[in-house]
Amino acid sequence: LAKVDSTVINALVQKGIFEVYEQEISRLAGYEDQLLEAGELSEQQVEALQGIHEGFSQKLVTLLHGVTGSGKTRVYVELIREVIDRGEQVLYLLPEIALTTQIIDRLQKVFGDQIAVYHSRLSNNERVEMWNSVLAGKPVILGARSALFLPFKQLGLIVVDEEHDPSYKQHDPNPRYNGRDTAIFLAGLHGAKTLLGTATPSIESYYNAQSGKYGLVEMKERFGGLELPEMAVADAKKELKERKLQSHFTTGLIDELKSALERGEQAILFQNRRGYAPTYRCSSCGWSAQCTNCDVSLTYHKATRNLKCHYCGYYSPVPNSCPDCGDRKLILIGFGTEKIEDELGIYLPQAKVGRMDLDTVRSKNAHSRIINDFEEKRTEVLVGTQMVTKGLDFENVGIVGVLSADQLLQFPDFRAGERAFQLMVQVSGRAGRKHKRGKVLIQAFNTGHPVLREVLNNDFTSFFAREIRERQEFRYPPFTRLIRITLKHKKPEVVNEAGERFAEFLKTELGWRVLGPAVPAVARVRNFFLLDVLLKLERDSALIQRAKLLIADATHRIQSETGLSGVRVNVDVDPY
């Protein structure tokens, strides 16, 4: 401040005028704002807290099933406070730290510097500091699944928020694990309790609660007596026949958006596909732009004027004419968030539109900026992928639109119905907070789908009953454990031979439990050809252990054979 160099400072120290002392300054940003009181608990929250205590008195795990806006976070706050007062630590898990800034801010306003946030963007020095603070007994750690590996000294409680979220599953690279299941195991090692919280429980967790393995507490009403949003389905098939469909918008959705904006309210539009259009095709010969490294079509991105692969990142410029026949009749098929944003400029020219997907949140703090713009009403309509379903609480959303329910329901996976139900209910929960009810409009061609009916009635009980019957009939989790073995090689004939040998060996030992080999939906990624072998195993620990040994043996046999040694084998237990 005095603009003097170190020579002057050293001279003053030697004369005893200045005294030198060392102070450790944390690299981790502390909380400096004034702390707030959490507020009084509602009657429903008091009952939920009592139910959790009762559950913990008999079980290590309790599931808190509360509708969107029921005030689950306030219950978490009270539980965390109790654990801290006992001198124990709390691990609060979130599916993705970057997408849950609102929850982090809310907890920090109550607990201040007692909370540390752990995420993958910390520097190595910050990680060391975090590690040491956990060892020293930091009371509360907020983090994504990687926080499970911190050295807790006296862990008393793990809260797994949004326990249903697929982001808890680590797919690549190794180790492949589910953060929720690992949290339960970790808590068991420490003699701690685990609370699973969600508005849309996973089938496995709810089954465990129903069968008595977990405790179960339910919050069926929104906080403050607020009603759940009004739900409706727009028949896109009918409007298409009557030529009323305006590109990808039904007239009902356009009308609702206009009405909401006229009332000074905001809107959220959910389309679970980024980019402008997923297919770029020649209408003369049928050619479509394909990735050179993967067996997928390239997605057109208007902002960058290129075609991009969402698997390997390959991109190419947009051709002006068909590379096969030379015709210039090239068309875009399908739609993503970028196209919805673009078309809103036609139907709602005065609206201020924002977009939240992987393309718009790549830079640091981009997600927080988009959320803040919407909170401060600088954005009126927010278009996004499933990012808009996670951890967001806005008080002025009058209408939520789901652009294509069919896309969610037709996905070739036994969990498609479960995921569709969860996503639609979660995004619906963004509508109508504070003193407004809000409305949700779901566009679909197949309006008679049972999942849609259950979403409209917010009927998780019927959804679960139907889904669990199907799972039992076809031997899917929670009645079995799945193990997916993926074989990879750059030559298709090599991976085919390896897959046949692998499956044949396992079938001699495990019989009907082995399915495949089968080509996955995307048969080539990054120039590796893929083949899957699926194991469906009864929930018997001895059988599962035996299967693991057989897989290791089969892998060794395949990789020891001449010509097959280059085959990569990835094993995923409980694929999600």
327-377 pLDDT, tens digit per residue, is 999 999 999 999 999 999 999 999 999 999 888 888 767 888 898 899 899
Closest CA to 226 of 434, 464, 461, 46: 434
Domain boundaries, the chain: 43-224, 226-274+337-470, 277-334, 480-573
Calpha distance 494→84 (Å, rounded): 57
Mean pLDDT of 431-445: 85
Taking domain 226-274+337-470, whether its CATH number is 3.10.20.440 is answered by: no
565 DSSP 8-state letter: T
pLDDT of residue 34: 54
Higher pLDDT, 399 or 26: 399
452-490 pLDDT, tens digit per residue, is 999 999 999 999 999 999 999 999 999 999 999 999 999
Mean pLDDT of 150-171: 95
| CB neighbour list of residue 25: distance below 8 Å, 6 or more residues apart | none
- Reply yes or no on whether the pLDDT at 140 is more than 80: yes
The CATH code belonging to domain 43-224 is 3.40.50.300
264-293 pLDDT, tens digit per residue, is 999 999 999 999 999 999 999 999 999 999
Contact, 527 vs 293, CB < 8 A? yes
Mean pLDDT of 204-227: 92
Higher pLDDT, 241 or 25: 241
pLDDT of residue 431: 86
The answer to whether 226-274+337-470 and 480-573 have equal CATH topology is no
pLDDT of residue 231: 93
Going by DSSP bridges, is the β-strand pair 397-402/439-444 parallel, antiparallel, or unpaired? parallel
Calpha distance 140→275 (Å, rounded): 38
Quickly state the pLDDT bin for 143 (edges 50, 70, 90).
very high
- Reply yes or no on whether the pLDDT at 166 is more than 70: yes
Task: Tell how many helices (H) and how many strands (E) occur in the chain.
Answer: 17, 23
pLDDT of residue 33: 57
pLDDT of residue 222: 86
Quickly state the pLDDT bin for 35 (edges 50, 70, 90).
low
pTM over 0.85: yes
| CB neighbour list of residue 123: distance below 8 Å, 6 or more residues apart | 27
The fraction of the chain above a pLDDT of 70, given in percent, is: 95
- Reply yes or no on whether the pLDDT at 250 is more than 90: yes
- Reply yes or no on whether the pLDDT at 571 is more than 90: yes
Calpha distance 111→114 (Å, rounded): 6
What fold, for 480-573? Answer: Alpha-Beta Plaits (3.30.70)
Higher pLDDT, 180 or 244: 180
